[in-house]
Chain A
C-alpha cells in the first residue's frame, strides 16, 4: 500500500462513516434528494476548490477567490440589468476578466518573486474593492435565461434533482482530475510543488506554469461566481466572504499536502462533501447552532494536518532505516 494514498483513503473512510452515522440517526438522509441538494448547495465552493487544489499542489496559495466570486456576481448583475447583452456573452466576458486577473497575479508572483500569500491578498482587496465600487447593493438578476438555467435539472431515481450547477461542478472535477493526472501541465504542477529549483532543472517552464496555474484558479473562481449567481439569482459585493478558507480547508481535508507536491483533485470533492454533510446534519438536527460547523471544520482541519505530519515523519523514518 502506497502511503501516498493514505490521506485520500482516510478522507473517504471518514466521509462514509460520517454519512452512515447521519443515516443511522436520520434515515431520511439516505435519499437522492439529500445527495442532490448536497451537490447543488456546494457547487460554487467545489468549483473554486478545484482551482485551489492546483494552486496548493504547486506550493502556492490563492486568497482572492472569494472576492473574485463576489466581483463576478456583481458584474453579471449590473451588465444584465443595464445592457441587453445575452447572458452567455456576459459569461464569456467575465471569465475572460477573471482569467486575466489570475494570470496577472501569477505573473507578479513569478517575475517579481514575491510570496503568493501577499500577492493574492492584494488581489483579494482589489477584487472586493472593485465589486464595492460597481455597486454596494444586492442586485437581483431577473432574466428569462437565468430562470431557465436555474430550473434545469435531471430527475434522479428517488426524486432527487441533479441541477445544472451541481452537474457543472461534477464536470469541473472530472476535467480537473484529467488535467492533473493525465497532462503535461498537471505533471509540471506536481513537479513545481516538489521544489521549484528541481522542477526548473528538469526543464519545467516555471514561469509559464505559474501564470497558467493562477489563471486557471482565476477562471474557475469566475465560473464559480457564475454558478453562485445562478444559485442565488443576485449579485452582492459582500457575498462569499471567507470562501477561500472553506476551499483551503476542503483541499486539506481532501488529502492534499499543504507544502505542495502531493494531492488529489478527487479528494477535494470528498472534502467539500464532508463540509456539506456537517451543514446538512446541523440542518436536520435543528437544535445545534450553525457555529458548530466552523468548530468541527477547524477540528477536522487540525486532525488532517496532524495526520499529514505523521505520514511525512513515517516516510522519512522508512527511508532512513530500510
Chain B
C-alpha cells in the first residue's frame, strides 16, 4: 500500500513541482499568501480561497478524468452546470424541500450524463460530437427553465452548500474532497479503474475480452453528469441564484485542461484522478495569483494558453519518441564505450 502511494506520488512529481513553483511565485509576489486565520469558526486565507474557488473545476475534473481515460471527452459539462443550477433554483423557489431539490438536481445531471453515454456507447457517435449536441442545446434548456431570468433564492440550506463551513473548511472544499475520495476508492479498490483504462487503450479488444464496454461507458458519462450536477448546485448556491447564460461558461475547457495538466493523456488509457485534482488546483492558483499580484486579469487567458502549450509540447507523442530515441542512442553509445574499454 505504502509503496503504491510512493509510486503514484513519484509519477505525479512534475505536477507537484509545477504546483509548488506556482505557489512559491504567489508567495513571492504576495507574502501573505500562506497566512491563515479563523473567523466565525471558518478558516480564511488565500490558500483556502484557491481550494474553494477551484471546487467546480475540481469536481468536473473527477468525472472528466474517467471520460478521457476511455478515450472520450465530455463537452457538455458546462451546459449541464447551467441546467442543474436552473433546476435547483427553480425547485427551491417553487417551495420544494431541500432534500427533494438536491435529489431532483442530481437526477437531472445523471439523466444528462446517461443521454451522452447512450449516444456514445449505443449509437456509437464520436464523443466530441455526441456531447456537442447537449453543449449547444443545454444553455437553451437552462434558459427555458429559468424563463430567461436570473432566478434568485433565499433558502438557507441551499446557500449553506455554497458558502457555509464544516469543520472550519468551506463546504465546496468538503464536497469536492469527499466526492474525489469516494470515486478514487471506487475505481482503485475495485477493478473498475483498470477496466476503464482497458477501454481507453483498445475498446474493441476490451469488448472481445468480455468487458461490458457499453455499460461502463454509459456509467462513466453518467458519473461526469453527476459531478457536473454537484458543481452546478455549488455554483448557484454560491451566487444565490441561477444564471443560465453564464453559469459554468467555459468550465468544460478548464476541466479538460485540468485533466491534461494533471498528466493524463487525451488519447485515453492510464489515468490519475489525484493528478487531475492537482491540475485543477494549478489552474486556480494561476488565476488567484494573477488577481493577487495586481496583473490585469486580461493576461489570465494568455498565461493559461502559454502554460497549456508548454505542457502539451512536453507531453506530445512526437517529442516523447524523440527523447526515447536519443536516450537509446546514448545507451548504445555507452555500450560501445564499455566494449572499447574491454
Pairing of A with B: yes
A interface residue numbers (CB < 8 A to B): 61, 108, 111-115, 117-119, 121-126, 128-130, 132-133, 136, 245, 248-249, 252, 258-259, 289, 291-295, 297-299, 301-302, 305-306, 309
Contact call A132/B298, Cβ cutoff below 8 A: yes
A122 and B318 in contact, given A61-B128, A258-B129, A297-B136 (Cβ under 8 angstroms): no
Which residues does chain A contribute within 8 Å of B137, judged by CB atoms? Answer: 294-295, 297-299, 301-302
**Shortest distance from the beta carbon of B309 to any chain A beta carbon, whole Å:** 5
Contact call B140/A245, Cβ cutoff below 8 A: no
Closest residue of B by beta carbon distance from A125 = B305
Which residues does chain B contribute within 8 Å of A289, judged by CB atoms? Answer: 143, 147-148
**Shortest distance from the beta carbon of A63 to any chain B beta carbon, whole Å:** 9
> Which parts of B312-327 form the interface with A (CB within 8 Å)?
312-313, 316-319
The complex places the Cα of A130 from the Cα of B130 at a distance, in Å, of 31
A129 and B298 in contact, given A118-B312, A291-B139 (Cβ under 8 angstroms): yes
Stretch from B21-29, B88-96, B118-126 that touches the partner: B118-126
Among A113, A245, A302, the residue within 8 A (CB) of B318 is: A113
**Shortest distance from the beta carbon of B90 to any chain A beta carbon, whole Å:** 15
Closest residue of A by beta carbon distance from B302 = A129
The complex places the Cα of A244 from the Cα of B44 at a distance, in Å, of 40
The reply to whether the CB of B135 lies closer than 8 angstroms to some CB of chain A is yes
> Which parts of B127-167 form the interface with A (CB within 8 Å)?
128-130, 132-141, 143-144, 147-148
A112 and B312 in contact, given A118-B266, A129-B300 (Cβ under 8 angstroms): yes
Which residues does chain B contribute within 8 Å of A115, judged by CB atoms? Answer: 266-267
1/0 per position for B296-313, CB-CB distance to A under 8 A? 101111111110110011
Contact call B298/A133, Cβ cutoff below 8 A: yes
Which residues does chain A contribute within 8 Å of B136, judged by CB atoms? Answer: 245, 249, 294, 297-298, 301
In the complex, 5 of the A-B residue pairs with CB atoms within 8 angstroms, ordered by the A residue number, are: A112-B317, A118-B312, A121-B256, A122-B305, A298-B138
Q: Please list the 7 inter-chain residue pairs (A to B) with the smallest Cβ-Cβ separation, ordered nearest first.
A: A298-B137, A129-B301, A294-B140, A129-B302, A125-B305, A291-B143, A126-B305
The complex places the Cα of A114 from the Cα of B306 at a distance, in Å, of 16
Closest residue of B by beta carbon distance from A237 = B298
**Shortest distance from the beta carbon of B335 to any chain A beta carbon, whole Å:** 30
**Shortest distance from the beta carbon of B227 to any chain A beta carbon, whole Å:** 20
Which residues does chain A contribute within 8 Å of B301, judged by CB atoms? Answer: 125-126, 128-129, 132
The complex places the Cα of A132 from the Cα of B299 at a distance, in Å, of 7
**Shortest distance from the beta carbon of B279 to any chain A beta carbon, whole Å:** 14
Contact call B298/A291, Cβ cutoff below 8 A: no
The complex places the Cα of A248 from the Cα of B130 at a distance, in Å, of 13
Which residues does chain A contribute within 8 Å of B186, judged by CB atoms? Answer: none
Contact call A122/B312, Cβ cutoff below 8 A: yes
Contact call B313/A112, Cβ cutoff below 8 A: yes
Which residues does chain B contribute within 8 Å of A306, judged by CB atoms? Answer: 123
**Shortest distance from the beta carbon of B303 to any chain A beta carbon, whole Å:** 8
Contact call A112/B319, Cβ cutoff below 8 A: yes
Which residues does chain B contribute within 8 Å of A119, judged by CB atoms? Answer: 312
**Shortest distance from the beta carbon of A71 to any chain B beta carbon, whole Å:** 11
Contact call B318/A258, Cβ cutoff below 8 A: no
Which residues does chain B contribute within 8 Å of A122, judged by CB atoms? Answer: 305, 308-309, 312
The complex places the Cα of A61 from the Cα of B266 at a distance, in Å, of 15
The reply to whether the CB of B260 lies closer than 8 angstroms to some CB of chain A is yes
**Shortest distance from the beta carbon of B12 to any chain A beta carbon, whole Å:** 20
The complex places the Cα of A297 from the Cα of B139 at a distance, in Å, of 12
Contact call B318/A298, Cβ cutoff below 8 A: no
